[in-house]
């Protein structure tokens, strides 16, 4: 939040995806009688295809501001998808969050969109999406994949955070009076530290429902990220719906119940550091803090096996908190490996970070 915003009333109203993406599609996968439908957002028409995988509990809209930032720096295409159980994606086995199933989802959506010969793909994932990106790469499910970017996904710190995640989920509001309140809570709690991004991305996390339905409303078991912010708590009851005062109104609830996916947490992250290091493609690791590194990645980084950048102070939602910095780092990676061409006035890769 900029200093110019201090002292004035901030606008927490939601913003449409159209401000950031060129188009939205619902992609059908599978046989006609049991199709799964995946929500995707696209931008750009030339260059490599950046496939963006969001973190647990978020949606493809968490990449909105980043998409504008990266497409203004290099010539590229973007495809951001809502993972199963998230956003507007609807699948039949909505409680299956195994790495194999989720990796197959990525490959199936790409095939449905681009056929057997998609453009060169750079797979970019945040948190759980980063772990799924690593597994997808390791399984060699995308024949035209040329690069891998993992954002704030480290096996060591992830495995240590399981208990704190459940505590965080128990403490956050279960519902909100309005979408504006949900956006305001997300910013003031520190979950998303960039108001512009929160206004477009929280829409993908929250769903409107009638008050009388809320007790029985259950969404698919979801995925959760395993790095939780501990330094800020903002559970002001004025943001939470009061059913007695809202007997005939709507409330806004989380689209997914993050806690129910716990049995999959270990499978997502165990072994990902070595899988990442073994990936025989150019790769970039972006971190919210140097303390996130585990032993395997520290050794690999010292051996020059991948590019790494530690971003300035931000929360776990790195590409939302610091979209320009993440776009700068990704642009440098794309340019250095000649995956994409710079749009004029973009600095050379050597002037950007290693």
Burial of 97 (0-12, 13-18, 19+ CB in 10 A): buried
How far apart, in whole angstroms, are the C-alpha atoms of residue 192 and residue 50? 23
Q: Give the pLDDT confidence score for residue 233 in this predicted structure.
A: 35
User: What are the pLDDT digits (tens) for 68-118?
Assistant: 999 999 999 999 999 999 999 999 988 899 999 999 999 999 999 999 889
Q: Write out the DSSP string of 184-248.
A: HHHHHTTSS--HHHHHHHGGGTEEEEEGGGTTT--PPP----S----S-----GGGS--TTT-TT
Sign (positive/negative) of CA torsion 206, 169, 317, 75?
A: negative
- 104 and 56 in contact (C-beta within 8 Å)? no
What confidence score (pLDDT) does residue 210 get? 73
Kindly give, in sequence order, each residue whose CB lies less than 8 Å from that of residue 262, ignoring residues fewer than 6 positions away: 162, 166
* 121 closest CA partner among 28, 210, 222, 50: 50
pLDDT digits (tens, 9 = 90+) for 234-253: 333 444 444 434 444 679 99
**Count of residues making up the chain:** 354
Residue keyed to tokens 């979408």: 179
Report how far apart, in Å, the C-alpha atoms of 118 and of each of 71, 110, 268, 331 are: 19, 7, 26, 21
Residue showing tokens 């109203």: 13
60: left (phi over 0), alpha (psi -120 to 50) or beta: alpha
Alpha carbon of 340 to those of 3, 18, 71, 250, 334: distances in Å? Answer: 35, 24, 11, 46, 6
Dist CA 120 CA 261 (whole Å)? 32
Angle between helices 128-138 and 99-114 (to 10 degrees): 80
User: Quick one: tokens of 344?
Assistant: 């004029």
pLDDT at 257: 82
What is the layout of strands, in order, in the sheet containing 250-254? 175-176, 250-254, 206-210
Residue 321, class by beta-carbon neighbours within 10 Å (0-12 exposed, 13-18 middle, 19+ buried)? Answer: buried
Helix or strand or coil: residue 349? helix
Hey, what are 155's tokens?
A: 């096996």
| Amino acid 214: pLDDT | 42
* pLDDT value, residue 288: 83
Q: Which residues, listed in sequence order, are joined to residue 122 by a DSSP beta bridge?
A: 50, 147
Cβ atoms < 10 Å from Cβ of 11: 11
**pTM of the shown model:** 0.85
Given a cut of 70, the residues of the chain with pLDDT beneath it are: 1-7, 154-164, 211-249, 292, 345-354
């Amino acid at each position: 939040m900029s200093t110019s915003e201090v002292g004035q009333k901030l606008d927490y109203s939601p913003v449409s995806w159209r401000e950031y993406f060129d188009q939205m599609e619902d992609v059908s996968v599978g046989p006609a009688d049991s199709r799964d439908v995946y929500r995707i957002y696209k931008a750009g028409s030339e260059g490599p295809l950046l496939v963006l995988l969001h973190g647990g509990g978020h949606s493809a809209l968490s990449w909105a501001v980043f998409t504008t930032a990266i497409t203004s720096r290099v010539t590229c295409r973007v495809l951001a998808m809502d993972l199963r159980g998230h956003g507007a994606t609807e699948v039949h086995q909505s409680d299956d969050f195994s790495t194999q199933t989720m990796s197959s989802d990525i490959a199936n959506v790409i095939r449905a969109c681009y056929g057997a010969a998609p453009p060169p793909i750079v797979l970019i994932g945040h948190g759980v999406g980063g772990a799924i990106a690593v597994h997808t790469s390791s399984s060699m499910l995308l024949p035209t994949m040329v690069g891998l970017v993992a954002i704030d996904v480290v096996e060591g710190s992830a495995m240590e955070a399981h208990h704190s995640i459940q505590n965080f989920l128990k403490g956050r509001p279960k519902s909100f009076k309005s979408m504006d309140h949900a956006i305001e809570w997300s910013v003031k709690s520190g979950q998303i530290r960039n108001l512009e991004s929160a206004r477009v991305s929280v829409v993908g996390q929250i769903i409107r429902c009638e008050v009388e339905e809320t007790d029985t409303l259950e969404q698919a078991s979801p995925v959760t990220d395993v790095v939780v912010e501990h330094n800020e708590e903002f559970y002001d009851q004025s943001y939470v719906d009061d059913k007695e005062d809202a007997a005939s109104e709507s409330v806004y609830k989380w689209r997914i119940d993050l806690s129910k996916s716990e049995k999959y947490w270990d499978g997502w992250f165990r072994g990902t550091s070595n899988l990442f290091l073994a990936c025989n493609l150019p790769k970039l690791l972006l971190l919210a803090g140097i303390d996130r590194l585990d032993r395997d990645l520290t050794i690999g980084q010292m051996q020059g096996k991948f590019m790494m950048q530690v971003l300035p102070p931000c929360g776990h939602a790195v590409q939302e908190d610091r979209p320009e910095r993440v776009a700068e780092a990704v642009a440098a990676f794309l340019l250095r490996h000649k995956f994409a061409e710079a749009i004029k006035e973009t600095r050379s890769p050597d002037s950007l970070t290693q």
